Amino acid sequence: MSKVRLMASRQKSDPDRLSPQDEVLKGLEEDIIFGRLAPGSRLVEDALMARFGVTRHFIREALMKLERRGVVTREPNVGARVCSYSAEEVEQIYEVREMLTRQAALKIRLPAEETLIKRLTALQEHYKAYAERGNLRGIHETNDAFHLALFSACGNAYLVRSIQDYMGLTLPMRAKNLADPEGLETSIRQHQVMIQLLRERDNWALAQLCVEHMQFSKFDYLDRIVARRGTDSSRRAADGSVLRHAGKTGKH
């Protein structure tokens, strides 16, 4: 029995098991989120088929979903790549995300209902448990669930959907931060303060913390852009030096 048919058979017996397409989607998403696939990396269909043991159909479906989320870009005759953003694009994307986040936090009625606080507290405990075990998928999924549960309290489903879209769009920018001990520790600590602020009445403090919460990943990505530029400049300088040396010695 092929791997695809075996996975489909197992899914029927276990409704919670991911479909082959979702397995590919989750696998690629994790590679991007945790920095195993750097911005600009090519996603070669044949290599992905061999890795996941699925047909080209499943690979293309997963890539199309990631493209719709703004995580992957596909070009005719070139193929798919992990999205790579300029510093200006990062600033603009985060400007929108910060505005959406601030508005949602300001609309949450404080003190918040105890059901929301209990929900977030439970997610926070799962988040810390995944962090202690180093479970990267659990860290990512619980972190996103925490924020969506928090912002859902704003009472505007369209605003929450826009926030979710921008959370997806910034996946390549958030890459590796939740796997970074410093970033993860900061995230856990700030989540705890958010829960405390929900018991109080200061929406402005909550909104400001929610905006500050995303700055670590933003500035980390901007630093990586500068580092890539430096590496590219050094490589070009080295190539130029080799060519100049070859010209002087007559070697080509």
How confident is the model over 159-190, as pLDDT tens digits?
999 999 999 888 878 766 767 888 889 999 99
Identify whether residues 78 and 119 lie together within a single domain: no
Helix 157-169, helix 87-107: angle, nearest 10: 150
CATH assignment at residue 75? 1.10.10.10
* Residue pLDDT, tens place only, 116-144: 999 999 999 999 999 999 888 899 899 99
* 103/50 same-domain check: no
Residue 203's pLDDT band (cuts 50, 70, 90) = very high
Split into its structural domains, the chain has a count of: 2
91 & 208 share domain: yes
Task: CATH number of the domain at 124, please.
Answer: 1.20.120.530
In a domain, 187, yes or no: yes
Q: Are residues 157 and 71 in the same domain?
A: no
> Are 193 and 120 part of one and the same domain?
yes
Instruction: Please answer whether residues 169 and 33 qualify as being in contact, where contact means their C-beta atoms are separated by less than 8 angstroms.
Output: no
- 17 — pLDDT class (breaks 50, 70, 90): low
Cα dihedral 221→226→228→231 (10° resolution): -150
Residue 49 lies in a domain: yes
Check whether residue 37 and residue 102 sit in a common domain.
Answer: no
Range of the structural domain that residue 65 is part of? 17-82
pLDDT in tens, 47-75: 999 999 999 998 999 899 889 888 899 98
Residue 235 lies in a domain: no
The reply to whether 62 and 115 lie within a common domain is no
**What is the distance between the alpha carbons of residues 54 and 106, in angstroms, rounded to a whole number?**
46
Q: Looking at the domain assignment, is residue 195 inside a domain?
A: yes
Residues 6+ apart with CB under 8 A from 154: 103, 104, 105, 107, 108, 160
Q: Assess whether 122 and 210 both reside in one domain.
A: yes
